[in-house]
Amino acid sequence: MANHSNFRVDAARLWDSLMEMAKIGGTPKGGCNRLTLTDLDKQGRELFIGWCEAAGLTVSVDGMGNLFARRPGQDGNLPPVMMGSHLDTQPTGGKFDGVLGVLGALEVMRTMNDLNIKTRHPVEIANWTNEEGSRYAPAMIASGVFAGAYTKDFAYAMTDRDGLRFGDELERIGFKGPEPVGKPVHAFFELHIEQGPILEDENIEIGVVTHGQGQRWYELTLTGFESHAGSTPMARRKDALLGAARVVELVNRIGLAHPPLAVSTVGMLTPYPGSRNVIPGSVFLTAEFRHPDDAVLETMNAALIEGVARICDAIGLEHDLKLVFSYAPVPFDPGCVAAVRRGAEAHGYSHRDIVSGAGHDACYLARVAPTAMIFTPCVDGVSHNEAEDIKPEWARAGTEVLMHAVLEKAEIVA
Ligand code: HGY
Ligand code: MN
Ligand code: MN
């Protein structure tokens, strides 16, 4: 195997691209608000496509808006080695969640061009639509359709809080592409910030991701009875917001009951009608659990169902509890994980094995191709926050390890 441990990337060029992309949907606090299928997402996609075409890559779009930028290999009939992530962000997201993986992959392509590297397999960058799941749930829907976890029609029918359909919005921004969703992939690698504190706390440059933890996402509607805040006696109320408050406490208690790895969160809570002198008649809220062991997720699920029923009985509320997203813990491919580890060692970067707390498109790609992830530290472990930040040297290290792993699987021929 050709020695390609000395390939350095152009860290300044990568950083410039990251900062340029961050201007699209940039927020006053220095973050990014580039929600999926918005005009800002369209602008980000178009900027990325321009860069890919300037690097001589051929861009294609599939029926879920997934973007693929292809660099030919010696044998065009072989399935590509793919690397990528997502350009969509949370509403108060950062500059690097997802974007580092897409633009790090572009930097790998640019460096391969600089060094005139030829590979046996084609190499492709992927930008997966709607990884975040903020505007449209479930998350990772487009890599999920690519991996056969959902149908395209299911995805097209998803609606956001304003009732806008995924399929219509994809068409509106001009990225409902002609390519079929799903194709053979030789191997997939995703570079991503850790979004947690472990690597920085331990002063480690590279996370060799062995697993993605499992997740369960819920939507819950509590229904009571709107009535006058001043003239309704306490004993005669059906206060949906009181119920929601107890559910928030329940969800937190369920997470705390499975230390040290379980996490539980209520992220959205919308009372109706939202008038200060009306007892809320209904509340919409979301809950989510995560853990590396599916049996623990099952126990948390049961505790939620029992707890919500008990709370509603006590107050006299109706409830509709829906599981909207669920996947079991994902082990990544040992061969690809070893390639990542070899990349860190070849470049002399400190590294440790780590389980991903966040979900990623790689968790679905692992169903259809040998897959692994590379983590970089992030400042104070902060992500899904406008203060999200990384050091340029971390971006360099992650991108060089990505390049090493991709070239190992794509096989250098010249
Ligand atoms: O929620 C997640 O883990 C990812 O950011 N979609
Ligand atoms: Mn992400
Ligand atoms: Mn995210």
Domain ranges of the chain: 11-213+329-413, 214-327
| Angle, helices 392-410/11-22, rounded to nearest 10 degrees | 110
Residue 304 is which amino acid? L
Note the pLDDT tens digit of each residue in 77-92. 999 999 999 999 999 9
Ligand 1: nearest atom to the Cα of 383: 5
Ligand 1 atom having least distance to the Cα of 195: 5
304 C-beta neighbours (distance < 10 Å), count:
22
How far apart are the CA of 193 and the centre of ligand 2, in A?
A: 8
For the stretch 205-216, pLDDT in tens is: 999 999 999 999
Q: Which residue among 88, 92, 130, 131 has the greatest number of ligand 1 atoms within 8 angstroms of its CB, and so is best to mutate?
A: 131
Q: Going by CA atoms, what residue is nearest to atom 5 of ligand 1?
A: 132
Atom of ligand 1 nearest to the CA of 98: 5
Residues of the chain with pLDDT under 50: 1
Q: How many CB atoms lie within 10 A of CB 320?
A: 12
How many angstroms does the Cα of residue 98 sit away from the middle of ligand 3?
7
- Which phi and psi angles does 219 have, rounded to 5°? -120, 135
Tens of pLDDT, residues 227-251? 999 999 999 999 999 999 999 999 9
Give the other-Cβ count within 10 Å of 406's Cβ: 27
Q: Helix 99-114 crosses helix 392-410 at what angle (to 10 degrees)?
A: 60
Nearest ligand to residue 90 Cα: 3
Q: Whose CA is nearest to atom 6 of ligand 1?
A: 132
Residue 62 φ/ψ region, left for φ over 0, alpha for ψ in the -120 to 50 degree band, beta for the rest: beta
CB–CB of 189/406 below 8 Å? yes
Residue 1, pLDDT score? 44
Cα 39 to averaged position of ligand 1 atoms, centre (Å): 22
What is the C-alpha to C-alpha distance for residues 333 and 244, in angstroms, rounded to an integer?
41
CA atoms of 272 and 38, how far apart (whole Å): 27
Looking at ligand 1, which atom is closest to the CA of residue 131? 6
CA angle (156, 143, 106) in 5-degree steps: 120
Q: Quick one: pLDDT at residue 3?
A: 53
Say whether the peptide bond before residue 259 is cis (omega within 30 degrees of 0).
no
* Å from CA of 399 to ligand 3 middle: 19
* Ligand 1 atom with the shortest distance to the CA of 358: 3
To test the pocket of ligand 1, the residue of 360, 363, 373, 375 to mutate (highest count of ligand atoms within 8 Å of its CB) is 360
Q: Which atom of ligand 1 is nearest to the CA of 359?
A: 3
Instruction: Read off the pTM.
Output: 0.93
CA distance 120 to 372: 20
Length of the chain: 414
Nearest CA to ligand 1 atom 4: 359
Which residue among 132, 135, 192 is best mutated to probe the pocket of ligand 1, counting the most ligand atoms within 8 A of its Cβ?
A: 132
Q: Which residues line ligand 1 (CB under 6 A)?
A: 131-133, 139, 358-359
- Distance set, CA 414 to CA 120, 123, 323, 342 (Å): 9, 15, 51, 21
Does domain 214-327 fall under CATH 3.30.70.360? My reply is yes
Number of Cβ within 10 Å of residue 7's Cβ equals 19
From ligand 1's centre to the CA of 102, what distance in Å?
16
- What pLDDT shows up at residue 370? 98
CATH 3.30.70.270, domain 11-213+329-413, yes or no: no
- Ligand 1 pocket mutation pick from 211, 384, 385, 388 by most atoms within 8 angstroms of CB: 384
Residue type for 230, please? G
Residue 356 is which amino acid?
S
Q: How far apart are CA 353 and CA 19, in angstroms?
A: 29
- Rg for the chain, CA atoms, rounded: 23
Q: Which residues pair with 287 in a beta bridge?
A: 218
Q: With contact defined as beta carbons under 8 Å apart, do 189 and 402 qualify?
A: yes
